Amino acid sequence: MKLSIGHLYPELLNLYGDRGNIACMKKRCEWRGIEAQVTEFSLSDPVDFSKLDIVLLGGGSDREQQIVCTRLQSIREDMKAYVEDGGSVIAVCGGYQLLGHYYETGDGKMEGLSLVDLYTVQDSPRLISNIVLKNSSIFPYEIVGFENHGGRTFIGENKPFGEVVYGSGNNGKDGKEGILYKNVVGTYLHGPLLPKNPHVCDYLLSNALERKYGKGELSALDDTQEIEANRYIRDRFVK
Amino acid sequence: MKIRRCAAILAARILSFGCRIAGKQGVTMAGKLAMRIDPNILKDLSAQVRGRIYMVCGTNGKTTTNNLLASALEAEGKKVICNHTGSNMLMGVAAAFVLNASLTGKIDADEACIEVDEASTVKVLPYMKPDYMILTNLFRDQLDRYGEIDITMELLEKAMAMAPDMKLIFNGDDSLSAYLAEKSGHAAAAFGISEQVFDQKETGEIREGRFCKKCGGRLEYDFYHYSQMGVYHCPSCGFSRPKILFDARDISMKGGLSFRVGKDLLTADYRGFYNIYNILAVYAALCMSGHSPEKLNEVLKNYNPQNGRNEQFTIRGSKVLLNLAKNPAGFNQNIAAVMEDPDPKDLIIVINDNAQDGKDISWLWDVDFDAFSDPSIRSITVSGIRGMDMRLRLKYVDIPAMLEMDVEKAIRDRLADGCGNLYVLVNYTALYSTHNILAAMQKKGGTS
């Protein structure tokens, strides 16, 4: 079996250890004998979504995000078709904001991909903190990470990635964090997200395998160190 | 007024003394107390410096550059004020002056070497008029505290505008520093390395500033030294590496560092390519301010930092080297420096996430730890508040590590069962405590 992972525009969107998310997906495939091929796309590269099983969209500075935003409009239709067909996407921080309709800042409105029904408005202060989420219907234990964003994101009636147990989440008000839409995970959590949350990594891998091969079961790995690191953060912030 | 000044200085001294007895650094608190009692104290004291004030800024290399410069000026017979410990925010800068003042509010100083945290420059400059700003480099660092590197650059730009007569001495190999220097319009001199030192391979190393700050176009590089340091130009707008006034050549890293600049041959015992930039910055500062770099080799030879930057200890016959590694660019350079030592070695990595470290430790994943999967690395022990994160980071490059949350125990264990060549890499808040542990062990002969 083989999964093809596309990393979109890492030369611009590479804040906050996004490479850790790639490394995590790659290793957890390898350790199970699944081949994982990672392709990095730069701004001028064409993206053939029919050849991808997982797409990672990371975060960048506002300036860099603006550059990417212009480029994204040209791949929007293809990416939309990919998402509607059940293609897996993991979008973090700036990448998460770009999934929505727009990101409104003091300097104007950055148009997003409109792949998912959400929007973001900049506000102060920046929400900077460790964060702990819970979504027990899908994930067997907590999701931990770090958030650092000025945007306040509103997802309407969509399903969140998790309920906030500690930290601010989408907007600091409604107790929700991120979004789950088909096989898209959008979230403000870096840390990076996947290494300390192997259950989230496996969720992405499993969805991608299910779509490609009709078989999403994954063999178990020894996650003692991952779970210890996860619990350590949870216990530190959630009494 | 006089009484107030005297009270401020006395209070700062007492507090600093008390802290030292308690084994704490306390420099920042002493500065804070003095500034609260006498808000003008920094302005008045810094104005008494007879010669030049050098302000050292930049993500990495500040403390080493600043302390080396101070030592070089002292070798010229100058009396120098310097914030040696690396307390580089407003209160730390204030303390450097206050703790050197007489109770009558006078300082006796020919020159001042003051390192200032980039984000603090705008806070320090209202109180101090530097003649020179030395800008070492700009990398991503503590994104949770400073936001993006763009924000740091905006602050530095503002700071430069606040001191129009200040001359810049900057790293011309760093496109970000070069851009700031050009934009500021200040009189400026660049140092750099024009010869290619490393074979080029695409390492996937994180690089800042791949795109031109001026026009947004992609920069083209003839070659890289590390991170974004290298020889670059922008094909779209013509922005390019500036003329390098102080150019290091004939670089050798065999068993230490040596290179030529101008008519001088400089040599140092320490490892680490990045130290060439630090030495070069000092050389440039000396030349630009009319001092002679003649005694620099002697200074380099005798330089023993005692501040956890490349600091060496000998404990019961074991060699221990302590170094600070607090962001990806610095860590990668540290890893390269460790691997320049071909002998077997044990390694301890301590990662904290206190406010001064940055609470977000995602950057660990931007460091290229793969280089540690080498037979000369006998063992790796991880420690600190985020020791578990560090262990996980290594797991994902297939390097096993031992976890020991107690730093002192980790050191003691590796001294007992290690190979006698120990490297300890720590981030910021672990530095002072680890330094104290090692210093105490060295003093006691490590019999504990």
> Exposure of B141 by Cβ count < 10 A (0-12 exposed, 13-18 middle, 19+ buried)?
buried
**Helix, strand, or coil here: B186?**
coil
pLDDT at res. B205: 67
Average pLDDT, chain B: 92
pLDDT bucket at B447, cuts 50 / 70 / 90: very low
Active site residue A93: yes
What mean pLDDT is predicted for residues B23-29?
A: 81
pLDDT band for position A16 (cuts 50, 70, 90) = confident
- Can you tell me the mean pLDDT for B43-52? 97
- Mean pLDDT is lowest, of B169-173, B176-180, B333-337, for B333-337
Taking a contact as any Cβ pair under 8 Å apart, which residues of chain B between 206 and 235 contact chain A? 206, 210-211, 216
Compare CB distances from B360 to A146, A195, A228 and report the shortest one's residue: A146
Contact state of A15 with B143 under an 8 Å Cβ cutoff = yes
Do residues B162 and A34 make contact, with C-beta atoms less than 8 angstroms apart? no
A84-111: per-residue pLDDT in tens? 999 999 999 999 999 999 999 888 888 9
Question: Strand, coil or helix: what is A114?
Answer: coil
Does A59 reach chain B within 8 Å, measured CB to CB?
no
Q: Which DSSP string corresponds to A122-161?
A: EEEEEEEEEEEEE-TTT-SS-EEEEEEEEEEEE-TTSBPS
Give every CB contact of residue A26 below 8 A, 6+ residues apart in sequence.
A5, A36, A38
State the pTM of this model: 0.87
Is the pLDDT assigned to residue A166 strictly greater than 60? yes
- pLDDT at residue A169 is higher than 90: yes
Does the distance separating the beta carbons of B210 and A11 come in below 8 Å? yes
pLDDT band at B448 (very low <50, low <70, confident <90, very high): very low
Predicted pLDDT of residue B201: 60
Is a pLDDT exceeding 60 seen at residue B297? yes
**Per-residue pLDDT reduced to its tens digit, A26-77:** 999 999 999 999 999 988 899 999 999 999 999 887 777 877 888 888 899 9
Q: Where are the alpha helices (DSSP H) in B233-381?
A: 274-288, 296-302, 328-339
Query: Which of A12, A19, A21 has the most B C-beta neighbours within 10 Å, making it the best mutation to test the interface with B?
Result: A19
Q: Which residues from B are below 8 Å from A62, CB to CB? A: 148, 150
Q: Is B368 on the interface with A (CB under 8 A)?
A: no
Specify the amino acid at residue B235. Answer: P
Q: Closest Cα partner for A207 from A47, A25, A18, A20?
A: A25
All structural domains of chain A: 2-237 (3.40.50.880)
Pairwise CA distance, residues B269 & B250, whole Å: 17
Q: Which residue of B has its CA nearest to A11?
A: B210
Confidence at B141, pLDDT banded by 50, 70, 90: confident
How high is the pLDDT of residue B282? 98
For the segment B290-316, the average pLDDT, to the nearest whole number, is 89
In the residue annotation, A101 being an active-site residue is answered as no
Candidate list A93, A149, A199, A201, residue with the active-site label:
A93
Domains with residue ranges and CATH for chain B: 47-85+107-302 (3.40.1190.10), 311-444 (3.90.190.20)
| Beta-strand pair B311-315/B318-324 | antiparallel
Amino acid at A31: W
- Give dist(CA B63, CA B127) in Å, integer: 21
Res B124 pLDDT > 80: yes
The one-letter code for the residue type at B23 is: G
Q: Which two tokens stand for residue B261?
A: 């600049």
Q: Above 90 in pLDDT, residue B206? A: no
Out of B140, B148, B365, whose CB is closest to A192?
B365
Candidates A7, A190, A199, A201; catalytic one: A190
B392–A196 CB contact, under 8 Å: yes
Minimal Cα–Cα distance from B373 to chain A, Å? 16
With CB atoms and an 8 Å threshold, state whether B365 touches A12: no
Least CA distance to B386: which residue of chain A? A229
- pLDDT value at residue B203: 54
Q: Which residues of B touch A31 (CB under 8 A)?
A: none
State which residue of chain B sits closest to A222, comparing Cα positions: B395
User: Is some CB atom of chain A closer than 8 A to the CB atom of B397?
Assistant: yes
Q: Is the pLDDT of residue B144 over 70?
A: no
The verdict on a CB contact (< 8 Å) between A20 and B362 is yes
Cβ of residue B360 closer than 8 Å to a chain A Cβ: yes
Q: How far apart are CA B233 and CA B238, in angstroms?
A: 7
Measuring CA to CA, which residue among B322, B268, B330, B324 is closest to residue B299? B268
Mind listing the pLDDT tens digit for each residue in B103-122? 999 999 999 999 999 999 99
- β-partners of residue A56 are A7, A90
Render pLDDT for B221-233 as a digit per residue (tens, 0 to 9).
Answer: 999 999 899 999 9
List pLDDT tens digits, range A194-237: 999 999 999 999 999 999 999 999 999 999 999 999 999 999 99
Q: Do A128 and B359 touch (CB under 8 A)?
A: yes
- Using the Cβ of B146 and the Cβ atoms of chain A, whether some distance falls under 8 Å is answered with no
Cβ neighbours of A23 in B, within 8 Å: 365, 396-397
Report chain A residues whose CB lies below 8 A from the CB of B154.
none
CB contact under 8 A, A126 and B147: yes
